[in-house]
Amino acid sequence: MKKKLFYILPVFFLAVGCKKDYLETLPSDAATATQIFSKFSSVSAALDGIYKETFTYNVGGGSHADYGQKSYDLANDLMGNDMVIHSLGYQWYNTTYQYTNWGLATAGNMSDFAWLRFYDQIKQANLLIENIETVQDATTAQKELIVGQALGLRAYAYFYLINYYQQSYKGNEDKPGVPIYLSIADASAGKPRGTVQEVYDQMIEDLTEAETLLTGKTRASKQNIDVTVIQGLRARVALLMEDWATAATYANKARTGYSLMSAAQYVLPNAQSAASISEFMWGAIIPASEATIYASFYSHVDISTGGYAALGQQKKITKALYDQIADGDVRKAVFNAPGNGTSTNPVYNQLKLQVPTPGSWAADYSYMRLPEMFLIEAEALARQGNDAGARTVLETLIKARYPAYSAAAFSGTALINEILLQRRIELWGEGWSLIDIKRLKQGLNRPSGAGNHGGTNFNPSIYTTGPEDARFLMRIPQRELDNNESMSPADQNPQ
């Protein structure tokens, strides 16, 4: 007989601060419900705990590839066309690169980590939403600020769950998605997989309410979700639904008030890793005392840390994509150019994603960056036939990187293809490769030969797939199937 348990992490709320020891980031002194909802300051601390869970290490069992959102972002890019692993190294992510990890339903693998972490974030958000009215010393505005962020975090978690455990939205609306939990009572009993459509409908409902609640309110820092982040999340959802009008509108709203970096700023080590940078819209602010050291994003991508990237597992752009970046485009300068290779810093190695100060682990994680909004808006306008508007938006972004850029020669399908190329260049290493391959129904198509996948680089084994390959899907964790009374082995994703 199955247990009436919903498979999530048995922690109530994460404490505000993480342990300095990166091997123990989930403290044992989590507060009780009575303590949490006794006063507003405790509720705010609990909300901070959800944000911190997005970058904590060892939520799923101790793997150095289990450090939150950026661990899945890196996996998404390694399963795409444009990122190469240099050599065998310490073997982290090699099975992901070879498409043999996401299909494992057992504990200690990527699908298990993601399910556990995102559903725990949903649980914590639901607790806040359900209990906020019991906080007696909070004003109405303060309660709205908490609920708006909790709704945004819940929608954010469902966005990744539905994109990891099922194919992209369009054409798959009636397929099984993931269970939808909107209360603690729901979770205690277990629920079946909701359809893809139902999950998207819930995300839209949450984001719509959150936008109303957060409008006109100021966030404590860029670690907190504000109304512009909600609008950015809404633009992402609309993009995948091919709701082009909504995608363009919300991407435009989201980018209001932010500014693009100069070319000189773009090449600095902190350009992608400091919340103070103008293009940083939302992410995790991580001081050195809370850094997860070797089990971190920068350990896996930045050779200056002395982590795994410096020990043979450098992450490189393909020659095929590098060659499509124009000479004079500052984005070409954040990859090691041919002729400059060394044993530690090989040709095409990425220099875009670095810690601000070599030798220090203090570095922030970006979960939403301004250029993404320009690219969503440009694509959505072009898909509606508004070529002039799309060219204007695209040129605003790319001219900040390459002043000589012009989109004047592009229209129709050629313009859409140009926007998608610029998206691959601009968002390289930020976690969108596999999601884009799925939504565009392209299938995997990795270039091979000198400077690309395989050859002298580590062999990814898989070079091409169909447009909706089963290997694009994470497997439902076996522990969920064992414990959820509303699910059976028949609910498992195909391999």
- Rounded CA-CA distance 294/310 in Å is 11
How long, in residues, is the chain? 495
Percent of the chain's residues with pLDDT above 70? 93
For residue 34, what pLDDT is reported? 76
- Rounded CA-CA distance 92/285 in Å is 25
Averaged pLDDT for residues 320-328: 98
The answer to whether position 140 is within a domain reads yes
For the chain, the average pLDDT equals: 93
- Rounded CA-CA distance 462/488 in Å is 30
For residue 495, what pLDDT is reported? 87
The answer to whether position 489 is within a domain reads no
Most confident of 29-33, 278-282, 482-486: 278-282
Domains in the chain, number: 1
More confident site: 186 or 104: 104
Question: Is 150 a residue whose pLDDT tops 70?
Answer: yes
- Rounded CA-CA distance 93/107 in Å is 16
Q: Tokens representing 301?
A: 């991508």
For residue 276, what pLDDT is reported? 98
82-141 pLDDT, tens digit per residue, is 999 999 999 999 999 999 999 999 998 999 999 999 999 999 999 999 999 999 999 999
Percent of the chain's residues with pLDDT above 90? 88
Range of the domain at 279: 33-479
For residue 5, what pLDDT is reported? 43
For residue 228, what pLDDT is reported? 98
The answer to whether position 95 is within a domain reads yes
The answer to whether position 11 is within a domain reads no
DSSP H helices in 338-467: 370-383, 387-399, 412-426, 433-439
- Rounded CA-CA distance 373/228 in Å is 11
Most confident of 24-28, 87-91, 197-201: 197-201
Weakest-pLDDT range from 12-16, 67-71, 351-355, 408-412: 12-16
Question: Is 27 a residue whose pLDDT tops 60?
Answer: no
Question: Is 63 a residue whose pLDDT tops 90?
Answer: no
Q: HEC string of 331-344?
A: HHHHECCCCCCCCC
Question: Is 28 a residue whose pLDDT tops 60?
Answer: no
Name the pLDDT band for 324 (thresholds 50, 70, 90): very high
The answer to whether position 358 is within a domain reads yes
The answer to whether position 141 is within a domain reads yes
H/E stretch holding 83 reads strand 83-85
Q: What does the longest C-alpha to C-alpha distance in the chain come to?
A: 67
Weakest-pLDDT range from 28-42, 217-231, 278-292: 28-42
Averaged pLDDT for residues 383-408: 98
> What are residue 307's phi and psi, to 5 degrees?
-85, -155
> What are residue 150's phi and psi, to 5 degrees?
-65, -40
213-261 pLDDT, tens digit per residue, is 999 999 999 999 999 999 999 999 999 999 999 999 999 999 999 999 9
What CATH number is attached to the domain comprising 226?
Answer: 1.25.40.390
Contact 166, 74 (CB under 8 A): no
The answer to whether position 217 is within a domain reads yes
Question: Is 421 a residue whose pLDDT tops 50?
Answer: yes
- Rounded CA-CA distance 373/394 in Å is 10
How wide is the angle at C-alpha 427 spanned by C-alphas 409 and 61, nearest 5°?
Answer: 160
The answer to whether position 484 is within a domain reads no
For residue 174, what pLDDT is reported? 98
For residue 30, what pLDDT is reported? 55
